[in-house]
Amino acid sequence: MSSRHDGRTPDQLRKISFIPHVAPHAAGSVLVSFGETRVICCATIEEDVPRWMKMQRVEGGWLSAEYSMLPYSTLERKQRDITRGKLDGRSSEIQRLIGRALRAVTDLSKLGQRTIWIDCDVLQADGGTRTASITGGCVALAIALNGLMAKGKLKAFPLTKLVSAISAGVVDGQPVLDLDYVEDKDASVDFNVVMTESGDFVEVQGSGEEAVFSGEEMTAMLELAKKGAQELTVLQRQAILAADKPSGDSLAALAAAFAR
């Protein structure tokens, strides 16, 4: 297999890491890194449900997500949405995707009358911010739910499966896994695949960038995504277990992550 611009093989993920407890006031938090892409994912809990659920007498709780790219996350400063008075279309689409992905693996009836918010803030963008947000958001959610269970506030664990997301694409005629920015901007085909730990698809977003792709290429990309999701699940489980046994200062770990 040919190597890529950063030395990875076509089926190789970037270096993935999770640093838990980076936001002390959140019920669950993690800094997730996909290579140079870094996103803080936090889960906060409100002991209430949206008004529409009350009006329609819907049982259980709710889960929603918000996504933003901080102004300094890109090479050129990104204007905050609030200064424009509205959320941009890309951010809106991504946060809806995060919410759908996490609700797909959460039994909302077991949440009780509460809402869980998943906030994903991009600190540094180098491709794959939506996939990192979903993958890290699931870890933050699991940490928060573990906390509720430990306090006796839940009778049963609502998270049915882990979910993760990864990109795949065709670059220079070669299907590759986990595209960084350099590859993403030159890819002829770009896929984002959301999968559960059991290998079921939650969502597949894919398109040719002024190009077409064959059935064989699509199959190759989905196989790469499946391999990547399996590897991410292992890392997610390790991160969730590690969060229950904190070792060292999370702020020191955060500094070390940016220093490498």
- Using CA atoms, how far residue 241 sits from 19, 139, 217, in Å, is 12, 10, 36
Residue 106, marked binder: no
The neighbour count for residue 197, using CB atoms within 10 Å, is 19
The neighbour count for residue 218, using CB atoms within 10 Å, is 17
Residue 38, marked binder: no
Q: How far is CA 87 from the centre of its chain?
A: 19
Residue 219, marked binder: no
Residue 114, marked binder: no
Q: Tokens for 64, please give them.
A: 């929603």
Write the CB contacts of 63 (distance below 8 Å, at least 6 apart in sequence).
Answer: 99, 102, 103, 106, 108, 111, 115, 116, 117, 118, 141
Query: Which regions of 47-133 does DSSP assign to beta strands (E)?
Result: 62-69, 115-124
Tell which residue, 164, 158, 150, 147, has the closest CA to residue 24. Answer: 147
Which residues are known binding-site members for phosphate? 90, 128-130
Which residues are known binding-site members? 90, 128-130
